[in-house]
Amino acid sequence: MTTELDISPTKLAATLGAGLLALVVVLSLLAPSESSIDLERLKDLVADGKVASIQVSNVSIAARLTEPVVLEIGGQRHRTQSVIVSGDIGSDEKLTIEQWEATGLSVVAVGSPPDHGLQEGLWVGFVTLLLLFGLYHLVTQAQKHRRDGSPRQHLDEARADLDAGRISAEEYERRASAISIEM
C-alpha cells in the first residue's frame, strides 16, 4: 500500500528556491577570487599604474590591484581586486622577477600559487559531486518509473478511471494535483 505525501506547491516552490539560492551562494564562495587574464592584459594594468604588488611562482603570476577594476573576460564583465596569469611564465623565474621589479613594483617569489589551485580544485570537486548526485537521481527515477510507471502513466490511469466512472471528478483532481507535483 502506498502513502501519498501531501505537499503544498507553495511550500515545495519555496524549498526548491531556497535550495537553489544556497547552491548559488556556495558556488560563489568556492569560486576563485582572482580573475584569470593573459600576460599582455597584466602588462597593460601595470602600465596604467593599477597594480600594487606581484607574486611570481613557477606556474603563475598573481597581481594585487590598487583598486577594484572591471575587466571583460569571455564576454562577461568581472569586478576584481586581484588577477592571475596562469601557465608557464618563462624558463627563468629570477629573470621574470627582475623584469617585474624593473617596473617599480613590489615582487615576491612564492613556491606555489597563492591558494588559487585549492579554491579551483574545491569548486571543480563540488560541481563534480553535484553532477554525480544528479546522475544518481536520474538513475533512481528511471528505475522507479520502470518499476512503478511514470507520472504521465498514473495520470492516464486516473483519467481512465474517471472516464469509466470508478472515481469522482474531485478524486481525479486530487490525484492529478498530486501527480503534477511529481512531474
Contact 59, 113 (CB under 8 A): yes
**CATH number of the domain residue 66 falls in:** 3.30.720.210
Residue 128 lies in a domain: no
Find the mean pLDDT for residues 29-46. Answer: 80
Domain enclosing residue 73, as ranges: 29-114
Residue 123 lies in a domain: no
Residue 104, in any domain of the structure: yes
8, part of any domain: no
With a pLDDT cut of 90, the percent of the chain lying above it is 5
Instruction: Record the cell numbers describing residue 1, joined without a space.
Output: 500500500
Inter-residue contact 101 to 107 (CB < 8 Å): yes
Q: Is 83 inside a domain boundary?
A: yes
Q: Domain count of the chain?
A: 1
Whether 146 is covered by a domain: the verdict is no
Tens of pLDDT, residue by residue over 112-137, are: 555 556 666 777 888 889 899 989 98
155, pLDDT greater than 80: yes
pLDDT in tens, 76-95: 888 888 888 877 666 677 77
Would you say residue 127 lies in a domain? no
Confidence category of residue 105, pLDDT binned at 50, 70, 90:
confident
pLDDT band (50, 70, 90) for residue 10: confident
Phi, psi of 109 (to 5 degrees): -90, 130
Residues 6 or more apart whose CB falls under 8 angstroms from that of 111 comprise: 57, 58
The model carries a pTM of 0.47
Q: Is residue 5 part of a domain?
A: no
